[in-house]
Structure 1
Amino acid sequence: MKVRHTSPARLGLLVISLLWLVVALPLSVSAAPYAAFVMDARSGEVLHARNADTRLHPASLTKMMTLYVAFQAIENGEITLDTTVKISANAAAEQPSKLGLRSGQRIKFRYLIRAAAVKSANDAATAIGEILEGSEAAFARRMTRTAKSLGMSKTTFKNAHGLTEKGHLSTARDMSTLGRHLLYDYPDYYNLFSRKSTDAGVKTVPNTNRRLLSNYRGADGIKTGYTRAAGFNLVASAERGQERIIATVFGGRSTATR
């Protein structure tokens, strides 16, 4: 690892990030394949990498791309935050974590975004994909195309939510790249990821990442994920002074080690 012109603020972020990753490593081996990546968000400089290009299950980190495409669609005028979405039987039948949407229910697009970002709701993520591309499969293809355009060369999406599916794979490096793009491409929406709870239309939902947001100084996102195949995954961003670091882990053994 080569770090140049390391300021005290960035050094502090890096040291804590690496300590966290070292603690997670020995515990994660039995749970799922382990990978980690730490980058300077502003410069893109790589500060730490371990199995960073190994293709693994991203779990709900997937929703980062679902939301990136949703933000893109709003900016392009394809849809508005106040567009009313009719929930399909397919979306309503998604497995937890979910908002609890019912088939035929109508809800504004803004609440689907909030639920996917904060609650990590699978039904909301599927509904986002269906309203934008007509089917989740078509939306997953759009997600993959978008990933390639962002330089995420080893990522393929098969669904909008991240539940385990053959061929649905990404890497720690690619997910860090996506986190950086969310931060800088859509700063007006990025605040969603730091909300400890949010109004999702039908109810107020807590953030799945609130433990890190509450306990790690400077943390303001981004996304957690878990499936049995993936282990406990996380893309985290924190800012202290003029320094910002993005750290990603795949294959954590528990919420605490993640």
Structure 2
Amino acid sequence: MKRKRICLLIIIFAIGLWAKGGEWFPKDIPFGDDVFKEVSDLRQVSDQKIYSDAAVLAEQKSGRILMNKQGNKKIYPASLTKIMTVLLAVESVSNDEKEILMNQDIFQSLAQSHASVAGFLPGERVKIKDLYYGAMLPSGAECCLRLANYLAGSEEKFALLMNQKAREIGMKHTNFVNSTGLHDPKHVSTAEDLEILLRYALKNPRFRKVFETMQYRTEPTQKHPEGLLLQSTLTDYKDQLKPTNGSFLGGKTGYTKEAGLCLASWVNIRGKRYILVTAGARGDHQTRPFHVLDAESIYQEL
């Protein structure tokens, strides 16, 4: 009987301590079954062998990091850069139905770079909104350069705006020097910073609409009377990226020889949304899609 009374007193004391704000556990750790599942997921995903040199997996709503493999390592972001380019454009342009001219000098600057293009032509008048999709889906460099010139007067000045925005949203280890992600030793970021960028960008409804689109036809122009059909670079992998217990919501690929294969993707699994950024997977467009394989294996663990 005495032992029961002692146990009861301990329970009452514990309840009182909790009610007055006593901390048995740190405040940022959730209680209940979810915490055990998240810790389990963290261990399983972290132990998973992945091809990418750097990877960060996070819950979109809370920003909670569930996996971090060298997330603070300096990387070349390649075309994941275009997430920032399109974000700045949708935040800055009030009338994206406006038509602007695709200047010849844009295409001359890209001639030697082997950059991916959406398919717009010199002298074509294109609606600004179509440039968002051209930059994001087929990763069109001509779209990025035209947006940069339109918004800032030059790509160099646009890069200043990119870096200003990066600092504002907490990207502490990023430096942009261009709007496309074409290789430059000074054009660097981290997987952690890119996760911060995408999480921020997805709060913007106009950006989110572009990011979750897999196929889009532009408005008719004098150069493309039926419009230009744009397809995401992930079109061939959308079924592979679909989680077993959820849906694939959108993504952006990146590749340069120096950056390797990169991917920023967004999924819904069991009612929760997750962001995954991977970078530095060895390979190219002729090898197996190691960035996609990484995303597939990581999402299967959730």
TM-score when normalising by structure 1: 0.85
Q: Where do 1:105-116 residues align within 5 Å? A: 105-116=124-135
The answer to whether the 8 A contact 1:39-1:246 is kept is: yes
Instruction: Report the CA distance shift for 1:249/1:143 in structure 2 as closer, same or farther (over 3 A).
Output: same
Query: 2:153 aligned with 1:134, yes or no?
Result: yes
1:18 counterpart (45, 52, 55): 45
CA RMSD after TM alignment: 2.6
The answer to whether the 8 A contact 1:92-1:101 is kept is: no
1:3 shift after superposition: 7.7
- What's 2:54 paired with? 35
- What's 2:290 paired with? 257
- 248-257 or 222-231, larger mean C-alpha shift: 248-257
Structure 2: distance between partners of 1:4 and 1:230: 37
TM-score when normalising by structure 2: 0.73
1:4 shift after superposition: 4.8
Give the number of aligned pairs: 243
Query: 2:207 aligned with 1:196, yes or no?
Result: no
Structure 2: distance between partners of 1:92 and 1:153: 33
1:237 shift after superposition: 1.0
Q: Which runs of 5+ in 2 are unaligned?
A: 1-27, 220-226, 292-302
Cα offsets for 1:161-196 (capped at 9, x unmatched): 111013111100000011101112x12431222222
* 2:213 aligned partner, one-letter code: R
The answer to whether the 8 A contact 2:90-2:206 is kept is: no
1:7 shift after superposition: 4.0
1:238 shift after superposition: 0.7
Cα offsets for 1:26-52 (capped at 9, x unmatched): xx5xxxxx1111111111111111111
Q: Which runs of 5+ in 1 are unaligned?
A: 29-33
The answer to whether the 8 A contact 2:119-2:228 is kept is: no
> Helix, strand or coil for the counterpart of 1:178?
helix
Structure 2: distance between partners of 1:188 and 1:136: 23
Structure 2: distance between partners of 1:158 and 1:70: 17
1:55 shift after superposition: 1.6
* 1:205 aligned partner, one-letter code: L
Structure 2: distance between partners of 1:247 and 1:70: 23
> Helix, strand or coil for the counterpart of 1:82?
coil
Instruction: Report the CA distance shift for 1:242/1:3 in structure 2 as closer, same or farther (over 3 A).
Output: farther
The answer to whether the 8 A contact 1:59-1:233 is kept is: yes
1:24 shift after superposition: 2.9
Instruction: Report the CA distance shift for 1:97/1:44 in structure 2 as closer, same or farther (over 3 A).
Output: same
> Helix, strand or coil for the counterpart of 1:65?
helix
1:71 shift after superposition: 1.1
The answer to whether the 8 A contact 1:129-1:160 is kept is: yes
- Quick one: percent identity of the two aligned structures? 26
- What's 1:31 paired with? none
> Helix, strand or coil for the counterpart of 1:251?
strand
1:82 counterpart (97, 121, 128): 97
Query: 2:269 aligned with 1:240, yes or no?
Result: yes
* 2:251 aligned partner, one-letter code: I
Structure 2: distance between partners of 1:129 and 1:203: 21
Structure 1: distance between partners of 2:210 and 2:238: 12
Higher RCO, 1 or 2 (CA under 8 Å, sep at least 6)? 1
1:120 counterpart (139, 150, 153): 139
- What's 1:64 paired with? 83
Structure 1: distance between partners of 2:217 and 2:155: 25
- What's 2:12 paired with? none
The answer to whether the 8 A contact 2:87-2:207 is kept is: no
